[in-house]
Amino acid sequence: MIIITGGAGFIGSNLVSAINQQSGDDILVVDNLTNTAKIANLADCTIADYRDKNDFYQNIIDLEKIPGLEAVLHQGACSDTMVTDGRYVMHNNYQYSKALLDYCQHFKVPYIYASSASVYGAGKDFREYPECECPLNAYAYSKLAFDQHVRARKESLTIPVVGLRYFNVYGPREQHKGRMASVAYHFYKQFNKDGKVRLFEGSDGYQHGEQLRDFVSVEDVVNVNQFFLNNPQLSGIYNLGTGNCQSFNEVAQAVVNYFQTKNGHESLTLEGIQDQALIEYIAFPDNLKGKYQSYTQADMSQLKSAGYDQPFLTVEQGVDRYLSWLDK
C-alpha cells in the first residue's frame, strides 16, 4: 500500500491517477475534504481507503501500523502563500511533516515529501544549499523549516527521505484551488469569459508580464515522484522545475494561441496579441510587494546527478496539453 497525503488535492490526485494506470489501486488517500470541490479530483480514480487528515494525524501519533505499507508520498499542506496565521501554517506544514517522518522511520518506510521553491525567496541562485534560501512568507518558512529538520537528521535516518522543491506547477486537477491555481488555469478561464487575459504590470525592474518563472507541468512532477518511488536507494532534497524560466507573457501567449488554433485561426506573436488587446496589464497588488518572486529558475544539477534524465515539457507543450484536458 502507498499512502498519499493531500491525495484529493492537485498533485496528490495526479499521483493517484498515475499509480492507478501503472500499478493498481492499493492506495490510502489522506486529505481534508472540507472543500468538497476536491472530490471531483478522485472521481475517476480508484483507491483502497480514505482517512481524514486529522484522524490520520492521531494514527501517526499512536503509531498505528498500516498493513503492507510500502511508501508515503506526503503532498498535503496549506499552500496559500498569503495566510497570515503562522501557528496554523507551522502545525499543518511542519509539525505534521515531522510526525509523519517519525512514523516512516519507525516502520522503515520510504518518505517522499513536497517542499517548495518558495524557500529561495527573492534570490537569484536556485540551488539546494542553505546560502540560497531566504523565505518571504509563512508558507515558505514552514517548508524550509522541515527541510532543515531533515538535514539535521540526515545521519540518523535509516530510510530513504526525498524532498522535492516544486517550482510553478500547473496542469489537470487544480480547479479547486481558487486564486491559488496556476496562471495557466486563470488565463484559460479569463479568455473563455472575456476574450482576453490579465497579467500584472511590471515589477522589480521587469517590464509588463515579463516576470520570469520556472513553470513545470504536473505530468513531469508525477514522473519525478515515480522515479524516486522506483529508486528507494536515493535520498536528498531536489529541485523540481524544468531548469528553464519563461515569462508570464509566454504563458498568456500559449493560452491565447490555444484558442486561436481551436477556432481555426493562425497563431499570433506576442506583439500581435498585444496589438489586438488580448492581454490586459493590471496594477501590481500592494499586498504582494516584497513577497513576490519575480524570477525563478531551478538548478537541476542535483536531480540529474541522481539519474533522472527525462525531458521536461515547455510552457507551449504543457499548456496546450493542459487546456485540451480542461476542454474535455
The structural domains of the chain, with segments of one domain joined by +, span 2-171+215-243+296-312, 176-211+247-288
Tens-digit pLDDT profile for residues 67-84:
999 999 999 998 777 787
Neighbour-count burial of 232, counting CB atoms closer than 10 A to its CB (0-12 exposed, 13-18 middle, 19+ buried): middle
Strand 212-213 relative to strand 246-247, pairing? antiparallel
Tens-digit pLDDT profile for residues 23-71:
889 999 999 999 999 999 999 999 999 999 999 999 999 999 999 999 9
pTM equals 0.95
Contacts of 193 (CB under 8 A, 6+ apart): none
Cα 119 to Cα 186: distance, rounded to the nearest angstrom: 24
Question: Per CATH, which fold does 2-171+215-243+296-312 belong to?
Answer: Rossmann fold (3.40.50)
Report the alpha-carbon angle 66-230-309, nearest 5. Answer: 150
154 phi, psi to nearest 5 deg:
-50, -45
Please pick, among 53, 98, 177, 189, the residue that the annotation labels catalytic.
Answer: 177
Please pick, among 120, 139, 166, 292, the residue that the annotation labels catalytic.
Answer: 139
Q: How confident is the model at residue 287, as a pLDDT?
A: 78
What length is written for the chain? 328
Contacts 24+ apart (CB under 8 A), 131-140: 136/290, 136/291, 136/292, 136/293, 137/81, 137/82, 137/291, 138/83, 138/84, 138/85, 138/86, 138/89, 138/90, 139/77, 139/78, 139/79, 139/80, 139/81, 139/83, 139/89, 139/93, 140/81, 140/116
CB atoms < 10 A from the CB of 204, how many? 13
Tens-digit pLDDT profile for residues 243-287:
999 999 999 999 999 999 999 999 999 999 999 999 999 998 887
Q: How confident is the model at residue 99, as a pLDDT?
A: 97
Tens-digit pLDDT profile for residues 172-226:
999 999 989 999 999 999 999 999 999 999 888 899 999 999 999 999 999 999 9
Assign 85 a pLDDT band (cuts: 50, 70, 90).
Answer: confident
- The answer to whether the CB of 31 falls within 8 A of the CB of 6 is yes
Tens-digit pLDDT profile for residues 275-318:
999 999 999 888 777 768 889 999 999 999 999 999 999 999 99
Q: In whole angstroms, how far apart are CA 118 and each of 92, 134, 183, 244?
A: 17, 9, 16, 16
DSSP assignment letter at 52: E
Tens-digit pLDDT profile for residues 146-177:
999 999 999 999 999 999 999 999 999 999 99
Q: How confident is the model at residue 267, as a pLDDT?
A: 97
Q: How confident is the model at residue 89, as a pLDDT?
A: 93
Q: How confident is the model at residue 246, as a pLDDT?
A: 98
139: annotated active-site residue: yes
Round to the nearest angstrom and report the end-to-end CA distance of the chain: 31
Q: How confident is the model at residue 78, as a pLDDT?
A: 83
